[in-house]
């Protein structure tokens, strides 16, 4: 069972469990609190520092879907034109190739050396599957531009 962000008791366990918070100015508990108070700034870059590791969700004593909430905020930020450029670049790869991390020549060579096909049986091999991925993305307003 999961609970709404409004059941947060501000214990800070999520912040303590967050690997990003150790290296950048990112405080998970503060994001939850700001969201509860209607004070989220969609232009706040720290929204994009979450690695989606789910550590916080696993440890939250109130069983709040913290990571999913952050992802929801990111979606709002994206729709408001406030996504960070590295994330937009990944989205561009996804639209272009169907992969967030497309295969390169080095990896293709490695596959061949292992007796595998140079390309994996994904959108890299199936143009119709790539078209389907693009249709889904474009349905969500992602043009790949």
Q: How far apart are CA 95 and CA 133, in angstroms?
A: 7
Residues touching ligand SF4: how many (CB under 6 A)?
28
Q: CA–CA distance from 96 to each of 69, 79, 105, 143 (Å)?
A: 28, 20, 16, 10
Under rule CB under 6 A, residue 8 binds ligand SF4: yes
Evaluate whether 129 touches 98 at the Cβ level (below 8 Å).
Answer: yes
Report the Cα–Cα distance between both ends of the chain, in Å, rounded: 40
The SS3 assignment for 3 reads: strand
Stretch that binds ligand SF4, among 37-45, 53-61, 90-98, 107-115 (CB under 6 A): 53-61
Under rule CB under 6 A, residue 73 binds ligand SF4: no
Complex with ligand SF4: residue 29 or 124, whichever CB lies closer: 29
Closest approach, Cβ 78 to ligand SF4, in A, equals: 17
Under rule CB under 6 A, residue 77 binds ligand SF4: no
Q: Which residues bind ligand SF4 (CB under 6 A)?
A: 8-14, 17-20, 28-29, 32, 50-56, 60-62, 64, 66-67, 70
């Amino acid at each position: 069972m999961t609970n709404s962000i409004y059941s947060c008791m501000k214990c800070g366990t999520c912040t303590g469990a967050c690997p990003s918070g150790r290296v950048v100015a990112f405080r998970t508990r503060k994001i939850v609190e700001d969201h509860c108070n209607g004070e989220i700034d969609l232009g706040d870059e720290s929204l994009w520092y979450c690695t989606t590791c789910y550590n916080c969700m696993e440890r939250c004593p109130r069983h709040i879907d913290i990571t999913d909430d952050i992802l929801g905020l990111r979606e709002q930020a994206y729709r408001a034109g406030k996504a960070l450029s590295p994330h937009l670049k990944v989205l561009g790869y996804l639209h272009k190739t169907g992969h967030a991390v497309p295969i390169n020549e080095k990896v293709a060579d490695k596959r061949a050396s292992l007796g595998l096909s140079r390309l994996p049986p994904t959108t890299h091999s199936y143009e119709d599957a790539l078209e389907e991925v693009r249709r889904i993305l474009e349905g969500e307003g992602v043009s790949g531009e």
